[in-house]
Amino acid sequence: MVVSADNVKVRVRFAPSPTGPLHIGGARSALFNYLFAKKYGGNFVVRIEDTDLERSSRESEENILASLRWLGITWDEGIGVGGAYEPYRQTERLDTYQRFAAQLLAEGKAYYCYCTEEELEAERQMLIKQGETPRYLGKCRELSTKEREKLQAEGRRPTIRFRVPDNHLVILNDLVRGEVTFDTGTMGDYVIVKSDGIPVYNFACVIDDTLMEISHVIRGEEHLSNTPRQLLIYDALGLTRPQFAHVSLILGKDRSKMSKRHGATSVVAYQEAGYLPEALINFLALLGWSPPGEEEILSLPEMVQYFSLDRVAKNPAVFDIDKLKWINGCYIRQTSLDRLTELAIPFLQKAGIFGPELTAEERAWTRLLMEATQDRLSCLSEVVEHAQGLIGDAVTPENEEAALVLQEEQVPLVIRHFKQQLESLEVDKASLDVPQAKAMLKKITKETKLGGRKVFMPLRVCLTGKMHGPELYHIIPLLGISGCLARLNKLV
């Protein structure tokens, strides 16, 4: 058995509520748990916390699991995989929670509350008006059996509330945040089981983490306020607390909490925008964790090797999209052309450039396009613009500077030579390859006795309208002989 530094068998979990797609913050929590488990030879569990029946859906669950798989975060145990602690979906474990709720009721550590929504809202408003923290003041705390029966007879269906010890300090020794103290003074007795018998997250989570023998709870700081509520339940049931590590919030560049305003928040949006999973994973790892060395581009096994909670920062992490783009660009450059081609095809299909089935020629063209653009892409979706720039016969100079290039005196000569070269090559567009294009350009500079820039710049503007872009020896075969001739004839 491999154990962590604390001599416990590591079992960690990612426990998403399926109320929407997998978010960046959730993905980071999943990743940190995964890295921690792998580092210590432990088990990583995925559990679905779907007790919020109104907001949970199977569609969201599927999306979350698909995004985890896409990111390459695999789990040893849990939903879809099985394991010794089944079931891993909370709505399939309702009997278990009832048992523990019954224990708390029997020991007087929880009680039935018959207050209606309206009564609770009135209490809330009253406290707000008095400038106090809204909370439950304990109206049903000491109901007699008779009073309970009466309320029951009125048809009221009770919730179960946890009896919060008065003026009690809850102390958490967090592995990231150190000692954190919570005062129960303004907490109020909270609901652990709703009136329909369904437990709330703060209760179900404690039971599951206990029964699934979770050793470390690694999650986002936004859950820190839930932690005292969970710790009180551990203590009341006499259960051993796991260790907690609350990872800092993810902020936008303006240092407000990361939200849609800062760009996409779901993993699938980054997938659709053309980020590579290994790049996103690498970026997520750096949101709050810093590797020991200088190197920031790390593979998943390297992250496992270097990961430790000691290097997880307390300070908020800032989501810097430019850094993600930079990391993605690094991975794009490391990726084989075959894989890049396969990854790019769906983007080209979606843009209507290709149909559902590609011909061998289209596939070869895409491969060449990827070769031409690999060094310039920060995102796969950018390939669409490059491809669109190669479609059609008409080209207009992108700006005045480009237009001026075409006025240079050597231009007619360069174009004449280029056309001659093209016309002498009686081959179709597929067979005009990069070496041929290179040879052609070399020949033109030699024959015209002109410096490279005087040849290449006008040809580039003629063929693309732009001053910058992929190498000419890529553009020429991508346009093909007929494409090049058509563009030259339209422009000059």
Cα atoms found within 13 Å of the Cα of residue 351, Cβ hemisphere only: 19
Cα atoms found within 13 Å of the Cα of residue 238, Cβ hemisphere only: 3
Q: Which is nearer to ligand GLU, 173 or 226 (CB)?
A: 226
Least distance CB 268 / ligand GLU (angstroms):
17
Report the alpha-carbon distance of residue 193 to residue 196 in Å, rounded. 8
Query: Exposed, middle or buried by CB within 10 Å (0-12, 13-18, 19+), for 394?
Result: exposed
Report the alpha-carbon distance of residue 459 to residue 117 in Å, rounded. 74
Q: Which is nearer to ligand GLU, 19 or 410 (CB)?
A: 19
Q: Which is nearer to ligand GLU, 27 or 298 (CB)?
A: 27
Least distance CB 15 / ligand GLU (angstroms):
4
Query: Exposed, middle or buried by CB within 10 Å (0-12, 13-18, 19+), for 396?
Result: exposed
In our burial notation (b when 16+ CB lie closer than 10 A, e otherwise), range 343-374 reads bbbebbeeeebbeeebeeebeebbbbbbbbbb
Least distance CB 102 / ligand GLU (angstroms):
23
DSSP 102: H
- Cite the active site residues: 260
Report the alpha-carbon distance of residue 306 to residue 36 in Å, rounded. 10
Phi, psi angles (nearest 5°) of residue 89: -115, 125
Chain positions contacting ligand GLU, by CB under 6 A: 15-17, 49, 201, 205, 219, 223
Q: Which is nearer to ligand GLU, 173 or 388 (CB)?
A: 173
Q: Which is nearer to ligand GLU, 177 or 466 (CB)?
A: 177
Residues 6+ apart with CB under 8 A from 82: none
Report the alpha-carbon distance of residue 204 to residue 219 in Å, rounded. 16
Least distance CB 159 / ligand GLU (angstroms):
20
Least distance CB 208 / ligand GLU (angstroms):
9
